[in-house]
Amino acid sequence: QALLVESGGGLVQAGDSLRLSCVATGVASNSAAMGWFRQSPGKEREFVAGLRKSLGNTYYGDSVKGRFTISGDNAKSTVYLQMNDLKSNDTGIYYCAAGPIASIYAVSWDYWGQGTQVTVSP
């Protein structure tokens, strides 16, 4: 029954901005974390940003710190990813995920969206 739906991807030039959205429905009540991952062909899946929903704590991958911001609207069951100063190596499919928190380093990402493509031209 769980469904995560991403939107907001597109084709932009380096230096531009995009805002991704993810609407989550039917996730388990213990899914305290939401996050964003990305993957490009031939590359490993990469953690981009995470959010602890109840407290608003945020976490970022090293490659996006200072440029991306994750936020959420609990009333709307929605998480956002504001991406600024996009670079060509930000290109990839961006996936929304959700799951329970075991520790700061251990989130069980039980739910995944279908992904939205972000392409950044040099």
The string of DSSP codes covering 30-80 is T--EEEEEEE-TTS--EEEEEEETTT--EEE-TTTTTTEEEEEEGGGTEEE
**pLDDT at residue number 104:** 63
Structure tokens at 60: 């970022």
Angle, CA of 8, 105 and 60, to the nearest 5°: 35
Residue with tokens 């100063």: 85
Digit-by-digit pLDDT tens for the chain (122 residues) are 899 999 999 999 999 999 999 999 999 888 999 999 999 988 999 999 999 988 899 999 999 999 999 999 988 889 999 999 999 999 999 999 999 998 767 899 999 999 999 999 99
pLDDT of res. 41: 86
DSSP, collapsed to helix, strand or coil, labels residue 115 as coil
> What's residue 75's pLDDT?
85
Our separate counts of H helices and E strands in the chain read: 0, 13
